[in-house]
Amino acid sequence: MNKRGFASDNNAGAHPEILKELARINVGHEIGYGGDRYTAEARELFKQHLGPDAEVYFVFTGTAANVIGISSVARSWNTIVTASTAHLNTDECGAPEKLMGCKVLTVDTPDGKITVEMIEKHIQGFGFEHHSQPKIISITQSTEMGTVYTVKEIKKIADYAHSKGLLLHMDGARLANAAVSLGLPFREFTTDAGVDVLSFGGTKNGLMAGEAICFLKPGLDSDFKYIRKQGMQLASKMRFISAQFIAYFRNDLWKECASHSNAMAAVLADKLKEIKGIHITQKVQSNGIFVIIPHDAAEKVMKQYFFYSWDEIKSEYRLMCSWDTTEEDIDEFVKLLKKEL
Ligand SMILES: Cc1ncc(COP(=O)(O)O)c(C=O)c1O
């Protein structure tokens, strides 16, 4: 299937600038396992975007970023509190439980965003040896439902976490989409808002493969180099992951890609809103759209344009736009949908 569809931003290819960068650095020999000059340069660039204390490590996947990133700061008797829709809870095949041994406690939310009021019930039992000890609150930005936390909302959760001796983790698999949506630099809604550990995504926004784990406060990464190696995420040819981020930050490629995918989602949402029988269920604040489509029509459209069912009972589907989605893709999709309704 070579057609561009709306199934996932992971289904898009790599941006040509990323491939060009990989060719550029594919010369001579470089020290392996991150001792190369490109990894040093990329880590420095992250400090420019996240602040001088940010310690950054590159890994292959977003699941690894979440799981081994949190492993650095949690022990097996700790709890991680998150939204029931969090990737950490639904789409990591129990890796957090298996590899960290932590208990994952969840709360249902209307829009993928947790609040202090929602999670308070899980933040108790401190010092009681029969009770898993609360340690991590994890939020996703932008969320799995396409919504975006404001700086104020993040600060409130971070202040609460710190007042209880907890740490705030942010799953930023789609961090660039949130930055564009908020119109803010990364630092303002991560480091400066009180986030402690950040999974910084790249793959969904134009990279071929590469994610970064960012420890935003000094000391949080003290044992991390051992954890990454045990977690099998220490790439021998690390330069091919890290150099992608050099291209990603150069000329704000990240912003160009995320602005485009967010804008395409807004265009698609506007066209869907005009169709009778179609109902958008979440605010469209990034590159994802959640929509109720009559089941039979959706099944027929899916044969040509694959996309995922989100809630079979509600007949709710997820449509994702990517850095390479075009207005023609949208027009063709909408035309087909109208025909099948
Ligand atoms: C919110 C979120 N976090 C993390 C990930 C990372 O996933 P992967 O391990 O497939 O790179 C994804 C991918 O779908 C995601 O949507």
The DSSP 8-state label assigned to residue 199 in this structure reads: E
Asked if the model's pLDDT at residue 240 lies above 80, the reply is yes
Partnered with residue 172 across adjacent β-strands are 200
Tokens standing for residue 127: 């010092």
Q: How confident is the model at residue 31 (pLDDT cuts 50, 70, 90)?
A: very high
Q: What is the mean pLDDT of the chain?
A: 97
Interval between CA 130 and ligand 1 midpoint (Å): 33
CA nearest ligand 1 atom 8, residue = 62
Span 84-107, pLDDT tens digits: 999 999 999 999 999 999 999 999
HSE-CB at 293 with a 13 A cutoff on CA atoms is 28
Asked if the model's pLDDT at residue 52 lies above 80, the reply is yes
What's the CA gap between 175 and 286, in Å, rounded?
10
CATH code that applies to domain 14-251 = 3.40.640.10
HSE-CB at 221 with a 13 A cutoff on CA atoms is 18
Query: Could you tell me the residue ranges of all domains in the chain?
Result: 14-251, 253-340
Interval between CA 337 and ligand 1 midpoint (Å): 28
**Class level of CATH domain 253-340:** alpha beta
Interval between CA 327 and ligand 1 midpoint (Å): 26
**pLDDT at position 293, please?**
97
Q: Report whether residue 11 contacts ligand 1, using a CB cutoff of 6 Å.
A: no
Arithmetic mean of pLDDT, 59-63: 98
Tokens standing for residue 91: 């789409």
